[in-house]
A and B are shown apart, each in its own frame.
Chain A
Amino acid sequence: MINERIIMAGFGGQGVMSMGQLLTYAGMIEGKNVSWLPSYGPEMRGGTANCNVIISDSPVASPIVTDATAVIAMNRPSLDKFEPSIIEKGLLLINSSLIDRSAERDDIIAYDIPANDIANELGNSRIANMVMLGAYLEATGALKKESVIEALKKVFGERKAHLIPINEDALDRGAQLVKGSSCG
């Protein structure tokens, strides 16, 4: 039984919303009950953005995530805001390329993922979100990487299909960091 309740947060433009949509889409492909709820309002214009994703074997009750099983923090304000929302033994993924601190809590499982550095190494700074998503998939085993790739194909269509391999590389690099880490 899975019941993943994820908060993804960062600056507008870091791909937080699309990362959430991809994961939601992948969950749907695997036949799970899913929901994606964005923050909306004036704060989205150039400010912080976050979305709540739920992937569950049972029907989704509230689409609002209050007790998060995982938080993906792409920047420092997001980490400060959402670290307290994680349940005990929950997962925290920190984009250490842009965040100058590690997890404050010791009752959760936290990984520092230099997502922007890896994305730059791969040659596209815009796929930092996919590095984080790869780390999430590896750390939780909630969904298969293949489902995310399938979702990407649907979202990208023919025109952007050439971007699939680099996205897959980013997912793999994120996963490797979690695999190779002593943490957790």
Chain B
Amino acid sequence: MAKVLMKGNEAIGAAAIKAGCKFFFGYPITPQSELPEYMAREMPKAGATFLQAESEVAAINMVYGAAGAGARVMTSSSSPGISLKQEGISYIAGAELPCVIVNIIRGGPGLGGIQPAQSDYFQATKGGGHGDYKMVVLAPASVQELTDLMMEGFDIADQYRNPVMIIGDGMLGQMMEPVELREPKKRDLKPKDWATTGTGGRGHTNVINSLFIDPAECEKHNLKLKAKFDEMEKNEKKYEIFNCENPDIIAVAYGTTARIVKTVIDKCKEEGINVGLIRPISLWPFPYEVFEEYADKTKAFLSVEMSMGQMVEDVKLGVNGKKPVHFYGRTGGMVPVPDDIIAEIKNILGGAK
């Protein structure tokens, strides 16, 4: 397929349909409404179902239902809407069902604003809903990567029978870049013989459930989930290492913020400051080991985020005290400006060079 110019939000939809997503349940919210709009137009053409639910809570529970029946299914929203979906996400994880959830993050807390933010990092990676569950959280930085990860996200969800979250921000959702829909690398996906599609005379009933009233049974279920999360941690880490040959400092950033940092890297080069970048692509599982490895090659780390400082906690866990870890962030919909990040870098490195 030749490259086409697509808006991030629409590219998510195109990738989902290409990946065989048969159901989309959602409720509009800025800045991701182009996605349900696209799905409403395109899904019927693909023999798939778009349904605008009466609320986010209804939408995520429809996802629960369709996933239980073995269909590829997704929902999308933005921060306040994702908060509403948390109960359902916990149930889906508990019942071991695959689905993809997209969060195009906006400023918070509460209704916040509609401009780009990354302040849902904790919610996404540390369990926004109740209980001991994890989900793979992927943070693309370009429209191409967004489509790649969206398609792979469905496979990851199916492989582990677990929800996968794709996070972006309004910038990524609204911007246009060339994209080419590419098949992800083949995974060994088992048939969904657990789905509730009728017994068909096979003699046993499939049950989708997250209730284990006997504590011993519930613990056993949690241990089973834990083993699965350990597998995900082992297999699903993704990150980019950029310009990390003897850097004076290594910036850590994900999503669109990482692209702003790349502009910072170019500008710093002109001034003789060598800035590296570690870009986590999977926010969970977080690539902790990489930080310990690169701690020997630099003087300090700087986590740059569109939040008041969330990922920086994981960066500190990764660096493990070997080098100082600093933070620079803008929040509430304000986007970091390269010159301000550069000023922070100079400050950390001890004044202008």
Binding site for B on A (CB under 8 A): 21, 24-25, 28, 34-38, 40-42, 60-64, 66
Contact = CB atoms under 8 A, between A and B. Distances in A.
A25 B5 CA distance: 7
Interface of B: 3, 5, 30-31, 114-115, 170-171, 174-178, 256, 259-260, 262-263, 265-266, 335, 337-339
Contacts of B256: 62-63
B171 A61 contact: no
Contacts of A63: 171, 175, 177, 256, 259
B337 A36 contact: no
B122 to A, nearest CB: 25
6 contacts: A25-B5, A28-B178, A35-B176, A60-B177, A61-B263, A63-B256
A21 B259 CA distance: 21
B174 A38 contact: yes
B260 A64 contact: yes
Nearest to A38: B174
Contacts of A40: 30-31, 114, 170, 174
Contacts, number: 59
Given A61-B262, A64-B335, A24 B174 contact: no
A167 B114 CA distance: 35
B259 A62 contact: yes
A9 B278 CA distance: 34
Contacts of A60: 177, 259
Contacts of A37: 171, 174-176
B5 A36 contact: yes
B175 A38 contact: yes
Contacts of A25: 5
Contacts of B3: 28
Contacts of A21: 5, 176
